[in-house]
Structure formats: structure tokens, C-alpha cells
Amino acid sequence: MTRLFGTDGVRGLANKNLTAALALKLGAAAAQVLTKDRRSDERRPTAVIGRDPRASGEMLAAALSAGLAYAGVDVLRVGVLPTPGVAFLTKDYGAALGVVISASHNPMPDNGIKFFSAGGRKLPDSVEDEIEAAMAELSDQGPTGTGVGRIIEEAGDARQRYLAHLAESVTTDLSGIKVVVDAANGAASAVAPLAYEAAGAEVVAIFNQPDAYNINDNCGSTHIDKVQAAVLEHGADLGLAHDGDADRCLAVDAQGNVVDGDQIMAILAVGMKEDSDLRHNTLVATVMSNLGLKLAMQREGINMVETKVGDRYVLEELGRGGYSLGGEQSGHIVLPDFATTGDGTLSGLRIMARMASTGKSLAELASVMTVLPQVLINVPVSDKSAVLSDDAVVAAKTEAENELGDSGRVLLRPSGTEELFRVMVEAENKEQARKVAGRIAAVVAAV
């Protein structure tokens, strides 16, 4: 049986495989699992619900609210806010759980539902499995009378609470910095420009007019060319591009060059080390981070711990080791002293704060790391599990690693959602990376 929860909550095509009926059951089951230790006769537990602007979010929020209230949970609806904002408010309001309705960088017809436990933390697989099991055992009889949950529409101070939190997290004056912000017509359309302006930056906002249908539509972090062009047009010091739910941030320097998540981590890690804020002198990244990041950290005397792909694994390692910085190449940057999940707006503030405190341009700061050419080939396969143990694949990988030596890297891994096997090669030049990756991909395809 296929697992309902994926790598980041439950996602699907809204009103087809992600329906209001499913959302109602998810809400009721999540209430049962996530509030079982927070029930009392005096007070019903509370859930915070936020969403991105896509049209189906209204329907799914209504269904989730109904499921939660049916299970005896009060619902505080905070409207359109970034995913990290909902995580923060879950903790700030003292709620038993939080829910975000968003499909992140996916196109508008899709949507998703992800849960936070008390304190605004992502759920481990085991708890998601509990929720899925509870859905199959839901009673058709809920509490009655005063046991039924109440639904509070639009908590009036939610946005201001989140903005105040961002302002407290980064206190550096950003006056003199001109930034272009691409909000992807998403959840940060109002919040990100306000947060950057409040810190003193001059803001040019683009794609910040959501109409329920245009989220991620040829804009945002998956279409970085738009903010590149706008930076050059407006003569800005940098550009920042968010995704639909604003838990990630990619940057562009004044010349229009992309500064990806690896480079952002390098910039922040060096700054935090200088300020004695980089706990255990360690950065946490995934195996997909560019080899150039590891080489830069070695040169700067910073340790690097690698995890599986996925921000939840970065979060787990940050907690396990007590570290203070982690992230992904895609722009999920996690600063656990200030946020329980990746926060794109916070990342943008930290990048500009580093520019302001050093007086250096983003290009100068990013030069701490040299990005090695990287080639990724997705190979369709019939059995992902058989590839890594295949003798021919093992031999091809070993041969490639011997050829590349310390100046390159080979990573083979199955896709988490499709019948694909990913072949990633980094080398000193693009042509060598392409040649080696193609050679291994041909062997994988023959398995």
C-alpha cells in the first residue's frame, strides 16, 4: 500500500487526489494523534492553520478546520502566511499543532497539507504513520456540546507577530542596500517586502500580487531569470527569490549571477564562525551540496556534516548535534536559534545583514566558495532497489571516482517519488562531468 505522506506532508492535485473529504479526515486524525497528551477538562487544545494564496487552499482550510473541530480542537486560522510563519505561530500561540496548506514551488493546480507538532516542529515519519493509521479508525461520533472545537477566523495579530519575530531575529540596519524581491505571487507577497523595508532596505517587489491562480507562474525561485533581469534593470545590490510558501530563498548578486543555497550557507557559516555563533564549528548540509562547499569549509576550518536529501533530515541532525546552521542547495536554510524550519525571509535578512556588517558586495561574499560544475542525469529504471548493488554499476562508479580523484565526486541515488535513478557527477570542468555522468547513466539504464 502506498504511503499517504511523502517527503514533505501530503501533496496532490487539489480536488482530485487531494480532496476536501481527505482533508477533513486528515484533520480529525491529526487532532487525535497530536493532542492525545494535551487534553484537559478545563481547556480544549488549539491548532493553527495557515496557507499560501492558491485557490484550493480556501476549500482545504475549511475542510481541515471542520475535521479538527469535529475532534474537539479549537482552530485559529491565520490566513495567508509563509510556512515558517505558521511554524513560529504554532509555538508563539502555544498551540498543540500547526497546519500549512501549500504545495511550495509546485504549480497552482497542486496543493499540499503538512503538520507541525507543538513548538512548530516537523513530524517524524513514525508520527505521520500514526496519523495515517488513525484515519482508518476514525469514529463517526465526535464530542458534543462544549467538547466541539471552535473556529476563529483570521487571527488579527498573526502577521504582526511574525514580522516582530523577524525584526528581533536580525537587528542589523540594512539602510543603503537596494534589493529586488520576487515573492512568487505566494505566501510571502506581503510579508517579505514589509520585513526587508522594516530593517531599512530599499525594496523593489516583483510578483507580489497573488490572485489565487498565479502562484509560482513563471516566477519565484524556480524561475530565477526574472529576478536576475530585475536586478540589472533597477541597479540593485542584490535580488532574492522565494518559492510559493517562502521556506526557501535563492539570491542574485548585482551582476545578475545566481547565489544558490550552498553559497548562502558558505557566506553565513563564515560570518557565524567570526561571531562565535557557529556551534561546534559545524555546518549541516545534504549529500547533494556541491563539493565546492565542502572544500570551502575545509579551507575556512569549518566542519561539515552531511545528511540524506530533505530538509527534515537536516533538521534532525541539527537537533541531534546541537548545531546552529544547516540547509540545502535549493535554498532551504535553517537557523534553529531563530526558526524551527527553513525560513526564506529570515535567510534574506541574514544575507543582507552580512553585506551591511562587512561592507562587502554579495559577489565578494560568495567568492568564499567556488562552485564545481555539476551534471545530474535522471535515468528511468524498472527496479530502483537493484541499481546500487549491480556489479556493473559498482564498477562504473569506482572507475569514475578513480578518474576524478579529489577534484570531483559521484553520487548515485534513487528518486524518492518516481521510478528514476539519479546520477550526479561533479568535476573540475563541465565537459568532464558530462562525459563521466553519461557513461555511468548508460550502465544504470542497462540494469
Q: Nearest Cα to 205, choosing from 174, 236, 176, 175? A: 236
Count Cβ atoms below 10 Å from residue 228 Cβ, excluding itself: 20
Residue 104 annotated as binding site? yes
Angle at 53 between CA 131 and CA 95, to 5 degrees: 40
For residue 276, say whether it is annotated as part of any ligand binding site.
Answer: no
Burial 81-91 (b: 16+ CB within 10 A, else e): bbbbbbbbbbb
User: Helix 344-358 vs helix 83-92: angle between axes, to the nearest 10 degrees?
Assistant: 100
Buried b or exposed e, range 397-417, using 16+ CB within 10 angstroms: beebeeebeeebbbbbbbeee
What's the CA gap between 47 and 64, in Å, rounded?
A: 10
Residue in the structure block whose three cell numbers are 498573526: 158
Q: Would you say 245 is a known binding-site residue?
A: yes
Whether 175 has a binding-site annotation, put simply, is no
| Catalytic residue, candidates 56, 65, 102, 104 | 104
How many angstroms separate the CA atoms of 81 and 218, rounded? 21
Rg (alpha carbons) of the chain, rounded to whole number = 22
| Active site annotation includes 56 | no
User: Phi-psi region for residue 145, left (φ > 0), alpha (ψ -120 to 50) or beta?
Assistant: left
**What residue has cell string 513563471?**
218
- Tell me the binding residues for Mg(2+): 104, 243, 245, 247
Which residues participate in catalysis according to the annotation? 104
- Tell me the binding residues: 104, 243, 245, 247
